[in-house]
Amino acid sequence: MPVYEFACNACGAAVSVFTRSINAPVEGKCERCGSTDLRRLISRIAVLRSSSGGMDLDNLDNMDPNDPKAMAAFARQMQQEMGSDAGPEMDEMISRLERGETLDDFGGDDGGGFDDDE
């Protein structure tokens, strides 16, 4: 359940909005003055590590960015630790990295995505 933090532009009160999922619309209302004129704040996050050790982010510095299979393994581990599905685009990216494609192979003149014909 995501929690979004806002500040009321009318009275300055802190407003927390709970949603059922990341895709749910975020509609907040100040409990103090009733205003819906809110500005979004950057929320603090907590990273929980499993008792089995969780992700070893210290080894991230040692990962070769030119090794697509290592990047895929890290991305899969990150996805599992987060416990959420990042969507079909992430799954496709990981699969392509596991096949040995580099990020440069993902195509497009802007370097920012997948080719539509794949």
For the stretch 29-47, pLDDT in tens is 999 999 999 998 876 666 6
The continuous run of DSSP H or E covering 7 comes out as strand 3-8
Parallel/antiparallel/unpaired status of strands 38-40 and 3-8: antiparallel
Nearest to 67 by CA among 100, 25, 38, 89: 100
Confidence of residue 25 (pLDDT cuts 50, 70, 90): confident
5 φ, ψ to 5°?
-105, 135
Taking the C-alpha atoms of residue 56 and residue 54, their distance in angstroms, rounded to an integer, is 6
The mean per-residue pLDDT over the stretch 5-32 comes to 87
Taking the C-alpha atoms of residue 28 and residue 10, their distance in angstroms, rounded to an integer, is 13
The pLDDT of residue 53: 54
**Contact in structure between 38 and 53 (CB atoms under 8 Å):** no
